[in-house]
């Protein structure tokens, strides 16, 4: 159409993301597949009929900034949460009070989906691969250093009740930080993009972590 604004400077991903969000708000039956099957010209024509170029730029930019901030908040939450989690891993490995593999697997199951969602969003909003890898490598380094420190500061000899209380407190701190980040950052984004099914998916995730303790695992 003659009135369609020039949208060449917007990426295909940005156009599709904006069109998907707009139609999702207005028509709950629309799906990602329907959006993906439409050509970029159709998307540009549809949006050109309802928005001028300035409004389009503002809307796309606002959505991309929101997604970028969400991804970075998830990364920061995982980084902060890695401190108490890694210390607990070091404590458990050194003290041999229980099987550390169970705790490590539970931490992996809780952190991996968050990290995957954050990294995918970082890539979608334009962060370079180098920057993404740097951020997540820093998280791995912090976790490794924290586990080493936790193993070094464990008291010699028999584990006392005070030390066990310290480990329990660190586990509670890690769990609280994780739940806060999930409730404030991930759940609103998941419901907006994934719909009502996210409630069941979240429940299955928590059950998976809880069931890890019932699986026989070798003692490290």
Residue 156's CB: how many other CB atoms inside 10 A? 5
CA 215 to chain centre: 26
Distance CA 121, CA 71 (A): 6
C-alpha dist (Å) from residue 89 to 6, 70, 182, 210, 218 = 54, 28, 22, 17, 16
Low-confidence ranges of the chain (pLDDT < 70): 1-61, 97-98, 155-161, 213, 215-220
The mean pLDDT value of the chain amounts to 73
Q: Contact at 8 Å (CB) between 88 and 170?
A: yes
pLDDT at 97: 67
Question: What is the per-residue pLDDT for 81?
Answer: 84
DSSP annotation of 98 reads S
DSSP one-letter code for 184: I
Domain ranges across the chain: 12-51, 64-214
Give the model's pLDDT for residue 13: 53
Q: Is 102 exposed, middle or buried (0-12, 13-18, 19+ CB in 10 A)?
A: middle
Look up residue 160 and give its two tokens.
């006392």
d(C-alpha 177, C-alpha 45), whole Å: 45
Rg (CA), the chain: 22
């Amino acid at each position: 159409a003659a009135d369609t604004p020039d949208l060449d400077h917007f990426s295909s991903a940005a156009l599709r993301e904006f069109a998907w969000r707009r139609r999702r708000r207005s028509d709950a039956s629309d799906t990602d597949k329907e959006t993906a099957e439409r050509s970029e010209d159709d998307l540009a024509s549809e949006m050109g009929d309802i928005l001028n170029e300035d409004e389009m730029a503002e809307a796309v930019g606002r959505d991309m900034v929101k997604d970028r901030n969400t991804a970075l908040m998830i990364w920061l939450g995982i980084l902060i949460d890695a401190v108490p989690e890694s210390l607990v891993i070091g404590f458990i490995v050194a003290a041999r009070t229980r099987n550390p593999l169970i705790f490590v697997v539970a931490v992996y199951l809780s952190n991996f989906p968050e990290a995957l969602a954050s990294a995918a969003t970082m890539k979608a909003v334009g962060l370079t691969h180098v920057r993404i890898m740097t951020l997540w490598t820093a998280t791995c380094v912090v976790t490794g250093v924290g586990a080493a420190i936790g193993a070094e500061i464990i008291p010699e000899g028999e584990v006392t009740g005070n030390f066990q209380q310290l480990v329990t407190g660190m586990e509670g701190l890690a769990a609280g930080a994780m739940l806060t980040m999930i409730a404030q950052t991930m759940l609103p984004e998941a419901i907006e993009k994934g719909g009502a099914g996210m409630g069941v998916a979240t429940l299955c995730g928590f059950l998976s972590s809880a069931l890890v303790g019932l699986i026989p695992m070798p003692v490290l």
